[in-house]
């Protein structure tokens, strides 16, 4: 199954299997101004073993990369393209990666790549072997989303927001390091 087929047909079903937690009313209504907001993962994605136990082993690498892409897009659009974010949120209604207590706590999207490796839930090679296909797909999907929504920012400029964000400094695990090398090589033609 191609990455595109997985993402469009299977990932939405798998995404529904993540355990979600609703923040308290103050966080939902006053801070986030989103009554439907849900969180998954907790600090450092401490529920990764439980969450991924619901995903078939062979699909986990594609699931992890798809989840990473969606969370990264969600956080970058919210932060760097706030005028576009409400439309994105309405279309995706993604759960937020992190947790909520006295306020919302959003986790670094790169931890989606690290946590399964940390817990040895996936093998590094299974994820690393599909990084090229994933990054090509991610660029195509981002281009298509921007075209469909008349977003004027250039896709490469948008992805540069992620590289320039402080969260990009996170470098735990081999998968994160390989992703960053491939990401910069394939998308930005640099090392």
Residue 151's pLDDT is: 75
Query: Which residues does residue 41 pair with via DSSP β-bridges, in sequence order?
Result: 98
pLDDT category of residue 32 using cuts at 50, 70 and 90 = confident
107 compared with 159, residue with greater pLDDT: 107
Per-residue pLDDT at 70 exceeds 80: yes
Cα-based torsion angle of the residue sequence 159, 160, 161, 167 in order, rounded to the nearest 10 degrees: 90
pLDDT category of residue 152 using cuts at 50, 70 and 90 = confident
Residue 186's pLDDT is: 83
Give percent above pLDDT 90 in the chain.
62
List Cβ neighbours of 16 (8 Å cut-off, separation of 6 or more). none
Per-residue pLDDT at 176 exceeds 80: yes
Average pLDDT over residues 126-152: 89
Per-residue pLDDT at 191 exceeds 70: no
Residue 23's pLDDT is: 86
- Mean predicted lDDT score pLDDT of the chain: 91
Residue 168's pLDDT is: 94
Average pLDDT over residues 79-100: 88
Choose the weakest-confidence range: 65-69, 96-100, 151-155, 178-182: 151-155
Per-residue pLDDT at 56 exceeds 60: yes
DSSP characters for 22-35? PPPHIIIIIIS--T
Burial pattern 90-114, b for ≥16 Cβ within 10 A else e, equals eeeebbbbbbbeeebbbbbbbbbbb
Query: Which residues does residue 99 pair with via DSSP β-bridges, in sequence order?
Result: 105
Average pLDDT over residues 93-107: 90
Average pLDDT over residues 171-189: 90
Residue whose C-alpha is closest to residue 23's, from 42, 48, 50: 42
Residue 90's pLDDT is: 84
CB 20, CB 14: distance < 8 Å: no
DSSP characters for 154-178? -HHHHHHHHHHSGGGG---SHHHHH
Encoded tokens for 33: 């101004």
Average pLDDT over residues 155-179: 92
| Three-state helix/strand/coil letters over 44-111 | HHCCHHHHHCCCCHHHHHHHHHHHHHHHHHHHHHHHHCCCCHHHHHHHHCCCEEEEECCCEEECCCCH
pLDDT category of residue 114 using cuts at 50, 70 and 90 = very high
């Amino acid at each position: 199954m191609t990455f595109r087929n997985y993402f469009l047909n299977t990932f939405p079903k798998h995404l529904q299997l993540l355990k979600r937690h609703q923040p308290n009313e103050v966080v939902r209504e006053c801070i986030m101004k989103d009554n439907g907001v849900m969180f998954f993962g907790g600090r450092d994605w401490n529920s990764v073993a439980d969450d991924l136990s619901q995903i078939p082993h062979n699909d986990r690498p594609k699931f992890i990369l798809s989840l990473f892409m969606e969370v990264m897009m969600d956080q970058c659009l919210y932060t760097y393209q706030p005028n576009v974010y409400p439309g994105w949120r309405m279309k995706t209604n993604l759960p937020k990666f992190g947790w909520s207590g006295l306020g919302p706590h959003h986790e670094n999207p790169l931890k989606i790549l690290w946590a399964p490796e940390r817990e040895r839930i996936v093998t590094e090679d299974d994820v690393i072997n599909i990084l090229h296909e994933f990054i090509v797909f991610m660029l195509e999907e981002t281009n298509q989303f921007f075209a469909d929504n008349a977003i004027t920012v250039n896709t490469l400029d948008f992805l540069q927001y992620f590289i320039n964000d402080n969260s990009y400094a996170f470098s735990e695990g081999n998968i994160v390091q390989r992703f960053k090398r491939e990401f910069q090589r394939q998308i930005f033609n640099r090392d």
